[in-house]
Amino acid sequence: MKKRYLYVLLAPGLLFLTLFMIVPLILTVGSTFFKDGGFTAGIYAQFFKDAYFLDILGTTLLVSVMTTLLCIVIGFPVAYYLSKLPPRKKGIMLALAIFPLLTSSVVRSFSWMIILGKNGLVNNLLTALGIIDEPLSILYTPAAMIIGLVHLFLPLILITLVGVMESIDHDLVRAAQSLGASRLTAFRKIVVPLSIPGLIVGSILVFVGSLTAYTTPALLGGKKRVVATFLYQNAITLNDWQAASAIATIMMIITFVVIGLMNKAAAKFKPKG
């Protein structure tokens, strides 16, 4: 049985993950169920009765869903354009597209603060053009968070979509056209359905990323909290590690549920047979 030896290759990685991920996870989740020496799920009941927390959870979900949808709408056509470029140009364009991921999120968020602030680029421009009289409050709203997060996560959906779209044989599009489909129809009936797997993966990355993002919402959201900043506040400011652990557990569960739902949706689009 030569194959047994192959498992040895997994050992270092497995050991690392067990020590630094699985054990801490179990401890984190486990710690939320003990209070005054007894076993209880009371902390979760408290959270879900607390209007303040529910509001934060609502904002977080809204921001994450909107970010994901915007990334899809903006990313899909761009990814198709990128996938059709000649190899050299595509490499350069993809590198440019990925650039936001490579800059520090603090720097990136500060630039958005300058652009979106009361005296920022956007407001000055709109006032100068006479479109508005009073500066809009964009900064420190969920909208600002969404803008920052879309900027941050668009590359993720681009990379996954370009990968999938590149592998679509262009003869399929030509075949559809020769059968009478206009460019748009061929795109709708061939490219879109065949890109769904990439879209799902990209969406999961963006959604989970937005759900757990800390710096961008913290800097652009002002007083408006999301779950990640709330968690930080509980742990560091209030020193309530049990509450923080419970919030972390809730975030994990949401993540798993979303991934599960999206995979289910993906299975629907997979070619059968």
Partner 1 sequence: MSLLQLENVSVAYDQQYILKDFNLSVEKGHLISLLGPSGCGKTTTLRLIAGFLDATDGRFAFGGKDYTRVPINKRNFGFVFQSYALFPHMSVYDNVAFGLRLRKVKEDEIKKRVMRMLEIVSLGGFESRFPQALSGGQKQRVAIARALVIEPDLLLFDEPLSNLDANLRVNMRVEIRRIQQELGITAIYVSHDQEECFSISDRVAVMNKGIIEQLDQPSVIFQYPKTEFVARFIGFNNFIAFEEREDEGSFYSLRSGDYHFHAAKAPGMPATMKGAIRPDDLIAGTLAEIQPGDNVLTGKVKVSTYLGRSYQYVVVTPLGEFTVNKEMQQPYANGQEIRLLFPSEKLVLVE
Q: Report the interface residues with partner 1, using CB under 8 A.
A: 169, 171-172, 174-182, 185, 189-190, 193-194, 269, 271-273
Helix axes 142-166, 105-116, angle to 10 degrees: 120
Q: How far is the CB of 231 from partner 1 (least distance, A)?
A: 41
Q: How far is the CB of 86 from partner 1 (least distance, A)?
A: 10
Nearest residue (CB) to partner 1, 149 versus 176? 176
Q: How far is the CB of 207 from partner 1 (least distance, A)?
A: 24
Cα–Cα distance between 231 and 159 in angstroms, integer? 30
Nearest residue (CB) to partner 1, 165 versus 244? 165
Nearest residue (CB) to partner 1, 12 versus 180? 180
Q: How far is the CB of 90 from partner 1 (least distance, A)?
A: 17
Nearest residue (CB) to partner 1, 105 versus 177? 177
Supply the DSSP string of 177-229, one letter for each residue. Answer: HHTT--HHHHIIIIIHHHHHHHHHHHHHHHHHHHHH--HHHHHHSTT---HHH
Q: How far is the CB of 218 from partner 1 (least distance, A)?
A: 42
Q: How far is the CB of 143 from partner 1 (least distance, A)?
A: 37
Nearest residue (CB) to partner 1, 134 versus 171? 171
Q: What's the one-letter identity of residue 1?
A: M
Nearest residue (CB) to partner 1, 161 versus 176? 176
Whose tokens are 């879109």? That residue is 192
Cα–Cα distance between 150 and 143 in angstroms, integer? 10
Cα–Cα distance between 16 and 14 in angstroms, integer? 5
Burial 133-146 (b: 16+ CB within 10 A, else e): eebbebbbbbbbbb
Three-state secondary structure of 76-142: HHHHHHHHCCCHHHHHHHHHHHHHHHHCCHHHHHHHHHHHHCCCCHHHHHHHHCCCCCCCCCCCCCH
Q: How far is the CB of 232 from partner 1 (least distance, A)?
A: 44
Q: How far is the CB of 164 from partner 1 (least distance, A)?
A: 13
Show the CA angle centred on residue 103, arms to residues 98 and 104, nearest 5°. 140
Cα 46 to its chain centre, rounded Å, is 28
Nearest residue (CB) to partner 1, 98 versus 181? 181
Nearest residue (CB) to partner 1, 176 versus 231? 176
